[in-house]
Amino acid sequence: MVLLENDGTLPLKGTGKLALYGSGARNTIKGGTGSGDVNVRHFVTVEEGLKNAGFEITTKGWLDAYDQVREDAKKAFFGGLRKEAEAAGVTGERMMFYAMGKACPEPEYELALEGEGETAVYVLARNSGEGADRTPAAGDINLTETEIRDILALNEKYDKFVLVLNVGGMIDLKPVKAVKTVLILGQLGSATGDALADVLLGKSYPSGKLTMTWAPIGDYASTEGFGDPNDTYYKEGIYVGYRYFDTIGYVPTYPFGYGMGYTTFNVEPKEMTADASKVSVTATVTNTGSAAGKEVVQAYYSAPAGKLDKPYQELAGYVKTGELAPGESQDVTVTFDTESMASYCTGCASYVMEEGTYYVRVGNCSRNTHIAGAIALDESKAVEKVKNICGESGFEDLKPAGTPITYAGEEEEKANAKVIAIKASDLTVKEVSYQEVPAEIPAGPSVKWEEVISGAKSMDEFVAGLSDEQLAYLCIGAYKESDDFMEVIGNASKGVAGAAGETTRKLEELGTPALVMADGPAGLRLAQSYKVVDGAAKALSSSLAGDFMAMLTPEEIQAMAAKAPQPSEEEKAAPVYYQYCVAIPIGTGIAQSWNDELAKKCGDLVGEEMEMFGTHLWLAPAMNIYRSPLCGRNFEYYSEDPHLSGCIAAGITDGVQVHEGCATTIKHYACNNQETNRYFSNSNVGERALREIYLKGFEICIRKSQPHFIMTSYNLINGEHACSTKDIQTFTLRDEWGFKGVVMTDWLVTGGMGPKGDKWPCASCAGNVKAGNDITMPGIPSDKADIMKALTDPTHPYALTRAELQLSAKRVLDMIRKLA
Ligand code: BGC
């Protein structure tokens, strides 16, 4: 949790009468909607958590009345949505996808605020999810009139008042600035309500920090043009989040890296060492308050502007202290690669360290740092030579005007900073060798899988024995003969009920098993109950949440149920099995800990469940950059900063992949920064921003923890589907960063679940293989047809050789051998 304000109200002195209000009090959100939702047995709401802790809730009347208001609002909202869908020509089951991710905005209402007690807690909630973006309107990013009125009234009425935010992203708090105790509870999964009670009572304490800048929505450089269905222009270039706000000298509502505790800390730069390889900066952290706590030491660098403009500062690393008692100190060292301070020069297709002075800053928030030392580089040098990728954006990136932030004493600190000289000639130059597709493996006799496992035959011999069709199956997920994609949404695995997908079972005749994939990132998304029929798991409920159903009339739901095949006698008699999963905190929640070890623990917990339920791949962590607070999936992601995103994703991956046979699938690669028209949305982005901001987190995660899988995104980049772009699916990913695993697409990128876009086409399955994207998920008949055509028709836009198909198929087989 992140404590934004505290006038001494928190921690509360004890339990007693408590007036509890707000949308999240009873209807607490444990995590957003969509594939990131987790089907838990039960999770603890705020009301329940506070009662468990011994509070006497005095506002049952208000909470009951609010339930009614909310029910009515939802009915009206989904009714309106249905009309909209009908007007757009959407009918039948596709209606559900029209509703996807669209959250009913907070309604306006008037209910008396009469709860007894000297303390009031108002829990403000917001929900969002895949398929739709957030809106810059009241009830979503902005507060409603009702919320502003009630929050300000409660702030006056009660001796102690706490505003608790049960949100997954930014909301504009400017209208309630008068409130002096504000806590971001976030959406913490199964334990949400109990965790809040612990923190309110001081049994635990907040030590989280914001992973994005909070400001009124109109002030982000990315807001203009956000959500265009066809083309989004990333004109702000590298100036995303604090890189923008710091450089233009803007005062946000809350800065990046900010968060209080129940105590105070002093972070004092102690020493800095640096050479051509590493920079290390040590700070002494002292607990200067009267309660225990943990602090996050954040190190930033300010690179010198040269031919390339530079942001005021960029995050280089961070370390969280252990728990410090009042008066206690700890020395903390943040170490980072010297060359991580290089910038991308598109003109020279290289990462370049420009000559001049690099200042290293250390502190506990982007707006509270001090200079720890400086590095003087004698000459500019290209430290990694690569090739340019992903075409042209068609515009010049922003070079912000304005004066960057500063603070009292900054110039003096600069003048007095210890300067370490580094010679450009000592920096190492990384050369990349871009690989060719290996020669075709000549056809050979059919080989059994067990011969590969025993070592009697090589994988090449196994591949040699496969027909074109078998190779194609390996590259299209659990291929279903039917065109009805409804069959494969949320319930696509024979192995584990409710899992999102599998690799092919078409090679079972050779003994090759399938890999089972289940969603994340807030835990493992499976169906809660199932039966085993004919050796296959059959879910008894959809793993998708109820709001989808809210679009349909009761008659339609009945008709859908009637269409489902009637259970056989054997099925009726089969026992019911249950598989309840734990919901961990949403991505934002984990990242707000700024604690890689905690991220690892979360991964470890999921890995344990994966072993328990028999899933090989977790379709997580999700790690797109918060380009804008409006992105409907930010809650699944980590940060506006790629370094933080990459490190948290690496921590989670390490936690999962210690479990044998378990792998992460980092997603959605790349530039999936809006949900509106997500299958057909083109992200127009300059190369420097692409490499320094949008690919960087993936690169860091891969270099640190080597996740076994990566999922590509739906969107296009500069006019080509990201999933079919060899530049990022092979050149950066495998050749530059050394990714050793398998690439797969996001679901139905070649078919589309929603309405078709009016500008851009669907992706091509053959195009994916050609790019080095090994598996098109979940696998539909046209995918196989596309591959078979591309193998034989040289005029196919992505004509394929058998060698290219073998390369992808072999990578899938290698991973099956490793994990299954
Ligand atoms: C989502 C992915 C998810 C996949 C499988 C897609 O709609 O974008 O994040 O992993 O479905 O459920």
DSSP state of 685: -
How is residue 613 written in tokens?
A: 């339920």
pLDDT recorded at residue 779:
92
Q: How far apart are CA 737 and CA 726, in angstroms?
A: 14
- With a 6 A CB cut-off, is 696 part of the ligand 1 pocket? no
Q: Say which residues have a Cβ less than 8 Å from residue 244's Cβ, sequence separation at least 6.
A: 220, 221, 236, 250, 311, 400
- Report yes or no: 161 and 181 within 8 Å, Cβ to Cβ: yes
Residue 295 to residues 212, 522, 592, Cα–Cα distance (Å) = 18, 25, 12
Residue 551 has pLDDT above 60, yes or no: yes
At 645, the amino acid letter reads S
Cα separations in angstroms, 722 against 739, 753, 773: 17, 18, 10
User: What integer best gives the mean pLDDT of the chain?
Assistant: 95
**pLDDT score for 755:** 61
- How far is the centre of ligand 1, averaged over its atoms, from the C-alpha of 7 (Å)? 42
The pair of three-digit structure tokens given for residue 504, joined into one six-digit string:
């092919």
Q: Residue 557 — very low, low, confident or very high, per pLDDT cuts 50/70/90?
A: confident
User: What distance in Å separates the CA atoms of residue 817 and residue 498, rounded to the nearest whole number?
Assistant: 24
For ligand 1, atom 6, the nearest C-alpha belongs to 747
Percent of the chain past pLDDT 90, that is, above it, reads 88
| Structural contact between residues 652 and 607, judged by C-beta atoms closer than 8 angstroms | no
For residue 303, the one-letter residue type is A
Q: In what order do the strands lie in the sheet with 720-721?
A: 231-233, 682-684, 716-717, 720-721
* φ, ψ at 383 (rounded to 5°): -95, -15
d(CA 379, CA 356): 8
Quick: pLDDT tens for 478-511. Answer: 977 766 655 555 567 889 999 999 999 999 999 9
Q: Is 716 helix (H, G, I), strand (E, B) or coil?
A: strand
Calculate how far, in angstroms, residue 736's C-alpha sits from the geometric centre of ligand 1: 27
Ligand 1, closest atom to CA 668? 9
Give the nearest ligand 1 atom to 35 CA.
Answer: 12
Band the pLDDT of 42: cuts 50, 70, 90: very high
Q: How many whole angstroms separate alpha carbon 355 and alpha carbon 377?
A: 5
pLDDT of residue 489: 56
Q: How far apart are CA 473 and CA 779, in angstroms?
A: 9
Q: How far is the CA of 746 from the centre of ligand 1 (A)?
A: 6
How many whole angstroms separate alpha carbon 122 and alpha carbon 143?
13
Q: Is the dihedral of CA 22, 106, 194, 155 positive or negative?
A: negative
Confirm or reject: Cβ of 753 under 6 Å from ligand 1.
no
Closest ligand 1 atom to residue 619 Cα is 10
**819 CA distance to ligand 1 middle (Å):** 21
pLDDT (tens digit per residue) in 47-87: 999 999 999 999 999 999 999 999 999 989 988 988 888 89
Residue found under tokens 């807001």: 223
What is the mean predicted confidence (pLDDT) over 121-132? Answer: 95
What string of H, E and C letters represents the secondary structure of 412-451? Answer: HHHHHCCEEEECHHHCCCEECCCCCCCCCCCCCCCCCHHH
Atom 3 of ligand 1, residue of closest alpha carbon = 35
**Cα–Cα distance between 120 and 299 in angstroms, integer?**
38
Q: Ligand 1, from 97, 130, 665, 679: best to mutate by most atoms within 8 Å of Cβ?
A: 130
User: Which atom belonging to ligand 1 lies closest to the Cα atom of 525?
Assistant: 12
What was the pLDDT predicted at 491?
A: 64
Ligand 1 atom nearest residue 778's Cα: 5
Q: Does residue 542 register a pLDDT over 70?
A: no
Q: Is the CB of 596 under 6 A from ligand 1?
A: no
Tell me how far apart the alpha carbons of residues 371 and 360 are, in angstroms, rounded to a whole number.
6
Q: Is the pLDDT of residue 385 over 80?
A: yes
3-state secondary structure of 395: coil
Answer for the pair 804, 795: CB distance below 8 angstroms, yes or no: no
Q: Hey, what domains does the chain have and what are their CATH numbers?
A: 2-206 (3.40.50.1700), 263-431 (2.60.40.10), 449-524+583-819 (3.20.20.300)
Q: How far does the centroid of ligand 1 lie from the alpha carbon of residue 548, in Å?
A: 15
Spatial CB neighbours of 792, under 8 Å, sequence gap ≥ 6: none
CA–centroid distance, 674 to ligand 1, in Å, is: 14
- Is residue 653 within 8 Å of residue 701, measured between CB atoms? yes
Q: How far apart are CA 298 and CA 532, in angstroms?
A: 51
pLDDT confidence band for 36 (50 / 70 / 90): confident
* Mean pLDDT on 722-744: 98
Can the peptide bond before residue 670 be classed as cis, meaning omega within 30 degrees of 0? Answer: yes
The string of pLDDT tens digits covering residues 216-225 is 999 999 999 9
- When pLDDT is averaged across residues 453-480 and rounded to a whole number, the result is 96
Query: What is the H or E stretch that residue 581 is in?
Result: none
In angstroms, rounded to a whole number, what is the distance separating the alpha carbons of residues 228 and 226? 6
Residue-level pLDDT at 119: 98
Give the DSSP letter of residue 327. T
C-alpha of residue 606 to centroid of ligand 1, in Å: 18
CA distance 494 to 516: 9
* Contact residues for 484 (Cβ-Cβ < 8 A; gap 6+): none
Question: How far does residue 798's CA lie from ligand 1's centre (Å)?
Answer: 25
519 lines ligand 1 (CB under 6 A): yes
Residue 407 DSSP label: -
Strand bridging mode 278-287 / 329-337: antiparallel
CA of residue 776 to ligand 1 center, whole Å: 12
545 has pLDDT over 60: no
pLDDT per residue as tens digits for the range 683-719 = 999 999 999 999 999 999 999 999 999 999 999 999 9
pLDDT of residue 355: 98
Token couple for 491: 């319930």
Q: How confident is the model at residue 561 (pLDDT cuts 50, 70, 90)?
A: confident
Q: What is the pLDDT of residues 399-450, one digit of tens each?
A: 999 899 999 999 999 999 999 999 999 999 999 999 999 999 999 999 999 9
Say how far apart CA 632 and CA 367 lie, in whole Å.
27
**What is the rounded average pLDDT of the residues 21-36?**
94
500 lines ligand 1 (CB under 6 A): yes
CB-CB neighbours of 322 under 10 Å? 10
The predicted-structure confidence for 224-244, as pLDDT tens digits, reads as follows 999 999 999 999 999 999 999
- DSSP code, position 169: S
Phi/psi at 159 (5° precision): -60, -45
Tokens 């992949």: give the residue: 657
Q: Look up residue 587 and give its amino acid.
A: G
Q: Name the phi and psi angles at 649, rounded to 5.
A: -65, -35
Residue of minimum CA distance from atom 8 in ligand 1 = 746
Residue identifier of the C-alpha nearest atom 11 of ligand 1:
747
Q: In testing the pocket of ligand 1, which one of 485, 747, 780 has its CB within 8 Å of the most ligand atoms?
A: 747
